[in-house]
Amino acid sequence: MFVENIFKFAVKITEKANRIILKNLNKIREISYKKGDFNLVTNVDKEVETLLIKEIALKFPNHSIIAEESGKHIKDPDYEWFIDPIDGTTNFAHSYPCFCISIGFARKKKMEFGLIKNPGTGDLYSAQKNKGAKLNGKTIKVSKIRSLKDSLLVTGFPYDRRTSKTNNFNHFRNLTLCSHGVRRDGAAALDLCYVASGAVDGFWELKLSPWDVAAGMLIVEEAGGKITNFKGNKFDIYCKEIVASNGFIHKELIKKLNL
């Protein structure tokens, strides 16, 4: 019941954050850069994160928070929140409607629930440990596509793609040629939700951070999907390689990523 109450609280603050984002669509006052030419942050990212941290700290003052813009607020390590106020900030800054709020909660290093809200569509993806995954309250499951050649995939590219050789372009080319196609949405948290709901069959990416994947990882797993690193080994939220799929195409996908 304790975690259930925290989950309900998280839904409420997610909706508060959603209202801030909707209010500020096409009204961004400030855009700055964190590292490189592609890693944007807006005043809205900061406003949303400030709200979420304030609400959590008031309700659960001993909980730790790991957030994209302000970093680690470490207190009790047995209770951790992972917050991305706007995943897909570049999309948001350009009014391209593919961005989301991502909130994950872990107890004793085990993910207990994840929430991902898409302000553009109003969709709320959620999962609670051992209770399945949902989209707007209705149960979702991964797809049943059984071969890579019949699959639709999704990926993303790291912010240092101009300067790093580990830029994902080789994988993008290889997998485009052996599948129905590869989409690039620019919001990893939503990409994981699309795997969970069966809209796509697989996802991979490099150099993501815990706040990008914490919520989405649980949503995929609770929807019946599979998540590993590029070698097919157990994934954790601090891993810099992620492969998520419906499970059926996972071995094929892993094989192509290791060519």
Residue 220, domain CATH: 3.40.190.80
Catalytic position from the list 53, 80, 83, 89: 89
Q: Give residue 126's identity as a one-letter amino acid code.
A: S
pLDDT average per 10 residues of sequence, the chain (259 residues) = 93 98 84 64 93 98 96 96 96 93 97 97 97 98 98 93 88 97 97 98 97 98 98 95 98 96
Catalytic position from the list 69, 87, 185, 222: 87
pLDDT the model gives residue 50? 97
Q: Are residues 17 and 54 in the same domain?
A: yes
Backbone phi, then psi, for 23, in 5-degree steps?
-65, -30
Q: Are residues 100 and 130 in the same domain?
A: yes
pLDDT the model gives residue 159? 84
CATH number at residue 8: 3.30.540.10
Q: Are residues 189 and 81 in the same domain?
A: no
pLDDT the model gives residue 25? 87
Q: Are residues 126 and 153 in the same domain?
A: no
- Candidates 82, 41, 12; CA nearest to 74 is 82
Catalytic position from the list 45, 47, 49, 68: 68
Question: Among this protein's residues, is 84 annotated catalytic?
Answer: yes
Q: Which residues contact 104 (CB under 8 A, 6 or more apart)?
A: 81, 82, 111, 113, 114, 115, 211, 214, 215, 217, 218, 237
Question: Among this protein's residues, is 89 annotated catalytic?
Answer: yes
Q: Are residues 171 and 86 in the same domain?
A: no
pLDDT the model gives residue 36? 52
Question: Would you say 216 and 203 are in contact if contact means Cβ atoms under 8 Å apart?
Answer: no
Q: Are residues 101 and 191 in the same domain?
A: no
Q: Are residues 32 and 134 in the same domain?
A: yes
pLDDT the model gives residue 217? 98
> 3-class DSSP state for residue 26?
coil
Q: Are residues 63 and 92 in the same domain?
A: yes
Helices (H), 24-165: 43-59, 89-93
Q: Which of 115, 139, 163 is the last residue of a domain?
A: 139
pLDDT the model gives residue 38? 58
CA distances from 209 to 96, 129, 149, 238, 246 (A): 22, 21, 30, 6, 22
Q: Is the dihedral of CA 128, 131, 134, 138 positive or negative?
A: negative
Catalytic position from the list 56, 66, 83, 86: 86
Q: Which of 104, 139, 174 is the last residue of a domain?
A: 139
Q: Are residues 171 and 54 in the same domain?
A: no
Catalytic position from the list 47, 49, 80, 84: 84
Q: Are residues 56 and 154 in the same domain?
A: no
Based on the structure, what is the number of domains in the chain?
2
Question: Among this protein's residues, is 86 annotated catalytic?
Answer: yes
Q: Which residues contact 237 (CB under 8 A, 6 or more apart)?
A: 82, 104, 111, 210, 213, 214, 217
10-32 burial, b for 16+ CB within 10 Å, e for fewer?
A: beebbeebbebbeebeeebeeee
Q: Are residues 209 and 243 in the same domain?
A: yes
> 3-class DSSP state for residue 143?
coil
Domain containing residue 218: 148-257
Q: Are residues 124 and 177 in the same domain?
A: no
Q: Which of 103, 121, 139 is the last residue of a domain?
A: 139
Question: Would you say 150 and 248 are in contact if contact means Cβ atoms under 8 Å apart?
Answer: no
